[in-house]
Amino acid sequence: MRRTWFVLGMVMLFFVGSVGVVGAAAPPTCGGMEATIVGTNGDDEIFGTPDDDVIVGLNGNDFIVGLSGNDVICGGNGNDFLIGQQGEDYLSGGNGDDIAIGGPDNDVVHGDNGEDLLFGNFGDDYLNGGNGKDFLNGDLPFPADQSPAPPGAYEDPYPNNDTCDGANGKDAATFCENETSIEEHPDPSTVIFEE
């Protein structure tokens, strides 16, 4: 009788353990990499470390700063504000109307879905608007009044080799040396991407 109870107990432990393993959720990823810092489903303020971080904001309207290091940052769902700062960073806005700003190095900035504002800042950057009507700026961050510059308002003081890809939607771009899917625009400092 004791042997029967022992065997039955072992079988129960096996099945409970198996269910636990199968039921475990996969960790969030960004750019195909497992996240080292994960936000919540609410509105988060997240700051990275001096090292290389993989940051996932999840849901909510998040404010995420990578700080130093070559960071990979995904905003997720919501209207997010992403800042790469130092290092060669990868920024992905996700779903929502996002603002994403690179740093002084060579960054990759994706707007994904929504009407996004993308800024490469310094460095040879790649900006991709994704779906929606986006504004892409290859070199300058926000002007002094913290709003996108009107067409022709500035000359590019940092003529880096930036690439702006409008992808889907009717997008505007400034200070981009290489553009794809563009149509003619009267102001040479601004291009409007084809829908």
- Residues 83 and 153: their CA atoms lie apart, in Å, by 24
Instruction: Give average pLDDT by consecutive 10-residue segment, the chain, 195 residues.
Output: 51 45 78 96 96 97 96 96 94 94 90 88 84 79 46 46 64 62 43 43
pLDDT at 176: 66
- Residues 113 and 111: their CA atoms lie apart, in Å, by 6
Range of the domain at 35: 29-193
Decide if 150 is inside a domain.
yes
Decide if 6 is inside a domain.
no
Of residues 74, 71, 98, 97, the one with CA closest to residue 84: 71
pLDDT at 144: 40
Decide if 117 is inside a domain.
yes
Decide if 3 is inside a domain.
no
- Contacts of 112 by beta carbon, 8 Å cutoff, 6+ apart: 92, 93, 94, 95, 98, 130, 131
Decide if 20 is inside a domain.
no
Tally of domains within the chain? 1
Decide if 24 is inside a domain.
no
Count of CB atoms situated within 10 Å of the CB of 40: 12
Decide if 16 is inside a domain.
no
pLDDT at 134: 82
Look up residue 194 and give its two tokens: 């084809």
pLDDT at 179: 55
pLDDT at 9: 52
